[in-house]
Every structure is written in structure tokens, then in C-alpha cells.
């Protein structure tokens, strides 16, 4: 009899207003059917799988299938998702990526570990300032261009210098110096063929470049991802001091739906181009914020081949794009002008 009564109490508690229990404590998925009775939180099936691997800090029970003793129900009542959020997410830095249910495993697992196992966001923790959080040095496995094999490369991220660099063993100088302005990172597990696969995208000389990297440690790769986000956040804060925080956060890194837009010599449809910019690899602002599109080259810039060009002027630098022909140039110009006028 206790069995049924307790189950009803528990399900009532899961639905109770103002407790936050009606959504997974870790990924926000509605209607969680599981709980960690050690942490006192309601979680979804997916996240329960991660908690199951952390017996030191968590203990998973099904709301419907397991037996719940009265004292455990009381424990759940006195804790719950809102309580846990206030405790374990007290100091999540603004740039830290909080995964959703559709995000890849490594992001969700590290979020849960960071919160409960390492206590990274507890109120008692001293938050790093975004500048130091956006500086990092270490090795990553990078997919080679020629032999299509992963090779260990030294990476360096510096918020202060506004760049990310990487080095190979053979060369003395950096193999690439990447401006944080156009830097983007997103997890691409299937494409890279590794559960910790990260795609780093940037623009150099008007061309989109990709680096495909991973690290054996889930913590390392997620820390790299958030370090890049911290560096981007710092850059955006300084460059766009008047843009409110909620508008800035989605521009830190993007998971773009369309790919390959600028790797082509010209866009097949101008929509693809518009989306690429609107989605934020290059932050596009309004004309009155200092953005401009021109059909000539900046001073001191020469292009060997005589092809039509577009110069995109941003408050910090100018981007030059080389177009296939005059018609393409006009299409890009129209698309870009439309964006900077509309924003
Ligand atoms: Zn979940």
C-alpha cells in the first residue's frame, strides 16, 4: 500500500509547480521519469545513463519502476531541481556552454561531471575572469590535410593576443595564427569519427578554413571548447560594449546548419550566404555601427587575378572576398547589404 501511495506522491512532486522538477535537472528535457535519489533531482532517461556511471555522487532510480521508501520521498521533497540548480549552478560563467538534450554525449557528460563531481560552479568557487579562462595551452590530435591522419599538435589560445595558434614539431613558427574574431567551434562527432571530435572554423584571407581535432579526454576537449567560448565572449564584450548580454551569448559559437557556404567560389543561392553571416561566423552589425560593403579592394591590398571583389568592412577589420564573376559579386553585395540594413 505504501508502494502505491509513495509512487503517487513522487509523481505529484515531479509535477509540482515552482520546483523545476517537471524538466530534467541537467538537460531541460520535459517530463523526467528518473531521479538521482542521492542528489535529490529529477532527470531524463538519457541523463540517468550518465548518472549511473557516477556511483560516488549519484544513485539512479526510476520514478515508476522502483520502490521508494517514505524517507527518500521526503529527501526528494526537501531538495529537487530548483534547489540543486541554486547550489550546483550558482556560478556558471556566462560563456560556459550548457548542453541541451540533443547535444552530443561528451558535452552532456562533462556538464554533469563539472556540476556534481567537480563542483565547478558551486557558490564557494572563485570564478575565473573571462580573460584567464580564455587562455589555454596543450596538445590536440589534428587531422592532417595531406595524409588524412591525426597528428599531435601543440595549440595555444590567448585572449590577450586575440588569437589561437598551433604548432607542428617540424616548424619553428606557428602553422596558423587564427583571429578570435572569426573563430568558431562546434562538436562534430560523426563527421570526425570520434566521440570527442571538435570542428574549429575560421576565416583567413577571405576563405573559410577548418581544423578537425579531438582529445582522448572528454574533460580536456570540453575545456578547450569552453576556453574558445570564453575568448570569444571576451572579444565580443570589448568589440560590442552596447550589445546586451542575452544577444551576445548566442553569438559566442554557432552550430551552423548550412556548411560549405564560403568554401565555394561563389554562393549558389544568396540565401545560403545571408544565413551564414546572420548565423554568426562573422558578427554582422548594422550600418550605423560601422559595417559597410564595398565593391573595391581596401587600400594596399592587391589581388593577382583580375576578378570582382567584395570588401566587408567591420569596426575591427576588413574582409576581402573574391567572386567568380560580376553576377555573383552583385548577388553577394545585395545579400550583404540586405543584412546590414535589416539588423
Ligand atoms: Zn536530461
Give the Å distance between the CA of 216 and the centre of ligand 1: 24
Task: State the distance from the centre of ligand 1 to the C-alpha of 200, rounded, in angstroms.
Answer: 27
Distance 300 CA to ligand 1 centre (A): 54
Q: How many CB atoms lie within 10 A of CB 164?
A: 27
CA–centroid distance, residue 57 to ligand 1 (Å): 17
CB 334 within 8 Å of CB 342: no
pTM: 0.77
273 CA to centre of ligand 1 in angstroms: 35
What class, spelled out in words, does domain 136-251 have in CATH? mainly beta
In the reported structure, the alpha carbon of residue 49 is separated from the centroid of ligand 1 by a whole-number distance in angstroms of 9
* Cα of 22 from ligand 1 centre, angstroms: 11
Please, what CATH class does the domain formed by 263-342 belong to? Answer: mainly beta
SS3 state at 137: strand
CATH of 2-117, one of 3.20.20.150, 2.60.40.1150, 2.60.40.10, 1.10.220.150: 1.10.220.150
Q: Where are the domains of the chain?
A: 2-117, 136-251, 263-342
What does each C-alpha distance from 333 to 3, 94, 182, 311, 339 come to in angstroms? 68, 35, 20, 9, 10
- Interior angle at CA 14, CA 10 and CA 17, nearest 5: 125
- Estimate the share of the chain in helix, then strand, then coil, as percent rounded to the nearest 5: 35, 20, 45
Each residue's pLDDT tens digit in the chain (343 positions)? 577 888 899 999 999 989 999 999 999 999 999 999 999 999 999 999 999 999 999 999 999 999 999 999 999 999 999 999 999 999 999 999 999 999 999 999 999 999 999 999 999 887 666 667 788 999 999 999 777 899 999 999 999 899 999 998 877 899 999 999 989 999 999 889 999 999 999 988 777 789 999 999 999 999 999 999 999 999 999 988 888 999 899 889 987 543 333 333 333 334 444 444 444 455 567 777 778 888 888 777 776 667 888 888 877 777 777 777 888 888 888 888 887 776 5
Q: In this structure, what DSSP letter does residue 202 have?
A: E
- Separation of CA 118 and ligand 1 centre (Å): 19
Sign, Cα dihedral of 318, 235, 219, 222: negative
Amino acid at each position: 500500500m505504501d508502494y502505491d501511495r509513495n509512487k503517487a506522491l513522487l509523481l505529484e512532486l515531479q509535477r509540482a509547480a515552482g520546483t523545476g522538477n517537471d524538466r530534467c535537472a541537467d538537460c531541460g528535457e520535459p517530463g523526467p521519469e528518473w531521479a538521482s535519489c542521492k542528489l535529490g533531482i529529477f532527470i531524463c532517461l538519457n541523463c540517468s545513463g550518465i548518472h549511473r556511471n557516477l556511483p560516488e555522487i549519484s544513485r539512479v532510480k526510476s520514478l515508476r519502476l522502483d520502490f521508494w521508501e517514505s524517507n527518500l520521498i521526503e529527501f526528494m521533497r526537501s531538495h529537487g531541481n530548483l534547489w540543486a540548480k541554486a547550489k550546483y549552478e550558482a556560478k556558471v560563467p556566462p560563456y560556459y556552454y550548457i548542453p541541451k538534450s540533443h547535444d552530443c554525449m561528451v558535452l552532456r557528460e562533462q556538464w554533469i561531471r563539472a556540476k556534481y563531481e567537480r563542483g565547478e560552479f558551486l557558490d564557494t568557487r572563485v570564478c575565473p575572469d573571462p580573460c584567464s579562462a580564455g587562455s589555454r595551452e596543450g596538445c590536440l590530435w589534428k587531422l592532417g590535410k595531406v595524409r588524412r591522419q591525426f597528428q599531435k599538435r601543440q595549440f595555444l589560445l590567448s585572449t590577450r593576443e586575440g588569437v589561437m595558434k598551433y604548432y607542428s614539431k617540424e616548424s619553428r613558427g606557428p602553422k596558423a595564427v587564427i583571429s578570435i574574431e572569426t573563430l568558431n567551434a562546434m562538436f562534430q562527432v560523426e563527421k570526425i569519427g570520434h566521440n570527442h571530435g571538435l570542428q574549429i572554423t575560421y576565416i583567413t584571407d577571405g576563405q573559410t578554413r577548418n581544423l578537425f581535432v579531438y582529445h582522448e579526454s572528454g574533460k580536456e576537449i570540453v575545456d578547450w571548447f569552453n576556453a574558445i567560448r570564453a575568448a570569444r565572449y571576451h572579444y565580443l564584450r570589448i568589440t560590442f560594449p552596447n550589445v546586451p548580454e542575452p544577444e551576445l551569448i548566442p553569438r559566442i559559437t554557432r552550430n551552423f546548419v548550412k556548411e560549405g557556404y564560403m568554401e565555394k567560389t561563389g554562393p549558389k543561392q544568396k540565401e545560403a550566404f545571408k544565413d551564414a553571416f546572420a548565423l554568426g561566423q562573422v558578427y554582422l552589425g548594422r550600418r550605423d555601427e560601422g559595417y559597410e560593403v564595398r565593391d573595391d579592394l581596401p587600400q594596399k591590398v592587391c589581388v593577382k587575378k583580375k576578378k570582382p571583389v567584395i570588401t566587408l568592412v567591420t569596426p575591427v577589420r576588413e574582409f576581402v572576398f573574391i567572386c567568380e564573376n560580376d553576377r555573383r559579386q552583385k548577388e553577394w553585395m545585395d545579400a550583404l547589404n540586405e543584412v546590414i540594413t535589416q539588423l
